Structure 1
Amino acid sequence: MRFILLPALASAALALAAPASAQVTRVQSNPQALILDGADVKAGTDLFYLSGQLASPIDPAKSFADVKSIEDLGDTKTQTISALKRIKAILESRDYAMSDVIKLTLFVAADPKLGKMDFAGANEGFKQFFKTAENPNTVARSTFQVAALAGPYFLIEIEAIAAKKR
């Protein structure tokens, strides 16, 4: 018994046998926008989900237990930069980079000095890590004002999702 493999079937068989190529497509309708509309992550892509990260005390000699005021952590911009530095360090320890981040969720508490969340401060901190010379990428992002975070002096918590080709 003889079988003839048609070219279309041969191509399909090769496609099934080949490993899926990883691909992340960043969707941005306005290139000037600070954030993406979304990110399309194809099968075969490695994903890394980071838990929410809080700011570290400004004084590296202090622990979280030593934090007694907002001044120990800084304003929203300062805390955003600190939390993103923590995210960057975690990513690098897993062979990811900030350019691999595709989604951030920001939880922002009201700054007592302003009486509301400091959205502008969070954006100023964000701009130091995204759409820069070092990292021209940006991310899909959601921002929520929350009643409080894990401690009374924390103004922002950031969680992240990173994706990269295998």
Structure 2
Amino acid sequence: MNKLVASSLIALAALGATAAPAAGITRNTLPATNGKPARILESVEVPAGATTLYVSGQLASPIDPSKPATTIADFGDTKTQALSTLNKIKKIVESHGYAMSDIIKMTLFLAPDPKLGKMDFDGVNAAFETFFNVPGNPNTVARSAFQVSALAGPNFLVEIEVTAAKVK
């Protein structure tokens, strides 16, 4: 170790210096558009010492779990599938002691809706806006969305993975 660094550390220890507590998570926002807060963040800074939860990609559950799910209609349109998936994610993060407000990063994988011939970005955003930038959760997330040719099964239109972080 460098003599200057070592002597500085010794001096700090002699003064009773301790490591500074971890700062909070910083959510760097985008400017509001048309008087509405931005849907997503520009970026997020997570300090050392924060705990992090990585949730694998989740898919929608069937609308009626008592029936066999064999068509897209059994899972619903993009908005319905996104709502189902976000509710599943909510249960997962809560089971690990986190909240939806702790989610900092979201990645969306969207298959083309056969009725539209492309991904239904409006549908997924409508579902997203029921969980973020709302009175129960004023936070939003850094987010990416990708149209993919297909997901794990032919009836899925939405897969979402998230990262949550919090300072204890």
Gaps of 5+ in 2: 1-6
SS at match of 1:83: helix
> TM-score, normalization: structure 1?
0.88
> TM-score, normalization: structure 2?
0.87
Matches for 1:61-80 after TM superposition, within 5 Å = 61-62=66-67, 66-80=68-82
Change (3 A) 1:149 1:13: farther
Partner of residue 98, structure 1: 100
Matches for 1:107-126 after TM superposition, within 5 Å = 107-126=109-128
Question: How many pairs were matched up?
Answer: 157
- Structure 1 segments (4+ residues) deviating >2 Å: 9-15, 17-20
Shift in Å at residue 59 of structure 1?
0.7
Structure 2 Cα separation of the partners of residues 148 and 40 of structure 1: 32
Gaps of 5+ in 1: none
Structure 1 Cα separation of the partners of residues 115 and 49 of structure 2: 47
Residues 78, 123 of structure 2: 8 Å contact kept: yes
- Whether 1:156 and 2:147 are equivalent positions in the alignment is no
Change (3 A) 1:29 1:59: same
Task: Give percent identity, aligned residues only.
Answer: 56
- Look up the equivalent residue of 2:38 and give its one-letter code: A
Change (3 A) 1:122 1:10: same
Shift in Å at residue 19 of structure 1?
6.3
Shift in Å at residue 165 of structure 1?
1.0
Root-mean-square deviation (Å): 2.1
Partner of residue 24, structure 2: 23
- Look up the equivalent residue of 1:41 and give its one-letter code: V
Residues 22, 164 of structure 1: 8 Å contact kept: no
Structure 2 Cα separation of the partners of residues 29 and 81 of structure 1: 24
Change (3 A) 1:89 1:12: farther
Partner of residue 83, structure 2: 81
- Look up the equivalent residue of 1:42 and give its one-letter code: P
